[in-house]
Amino acid sequence: MAKLGDTVSYQAPEKIGKRAITRFAQAIGDQNLLYRDEKYADKTSHGGLIAPPTLIFELGYDVGDEINEETGIQLGLEKFLGYPKNIQRLSNEYEIVEIVRPDDVVNARRTIIEVQEKEGKSGKWLFVTSEIVYTNQKGKLLGINKEKLACRY
């Protein structure tokens, strides 16, 4: 079961890449040319394509894990939290620190910073707050996500 201070780290298996950036921008309906038009982006102060600010928070760097077919949750996250029967995301608080580029290889370090246990009609629930720190291959801080999950055991 998840405990205060537990930490796990993930490294993306490859660079984010231009394709992931343009697909994410399309998926969220953001038509900013900085995310999809290389010629335009090259002429800006950014000097090339950049990622939408929330991209790193949505990729989930444990995506290489298998998915639990019954719960739809990544096995790595389930294992880290102690195999709950149900995981629900309650909230996210993003701090965007640095621009993310196609050549970035992202690392994420998740640390549990708060755990609250509650008993309900459906059983025991843990409310787990994690701080997820994202850095690139150079160790540069890209962003921080404070995420709260509800986990039923």
Per residue in 85-121, pLDDT tens?
Answer: 888 999 999 999 999 999 999 999 999 999 999 998 8
CA gap 71, 60 in Å, rounded: 17
Output the pLDDT for position 79: 84
pLDDT at 128 over 90: yes
Q: What CA–CA distance (Å, rounded) separates 47 from 44?
A: 6
In this structure, which CATH number among 1.10.10.10, 3.30.559.10, 3.10.20.30, 3.10.129.10 belongs to the domain 7-15+59-152? Answer: 3.10.129.10
CB 28 within 8 A of CB 36: no
Q: Where are the domains of the chain?
A: 7-15+59-152
pLDDT in tens, 45-91: 999 999 999 999 988 655 456 777 777 777 778 888 888 888 899 99
Q: List Cβ neighbours of 16 (8 Å cut-off, separation of 6 or more).
A: 51, 55, 59, 100, 101, 102, 103, 104, 105, 106
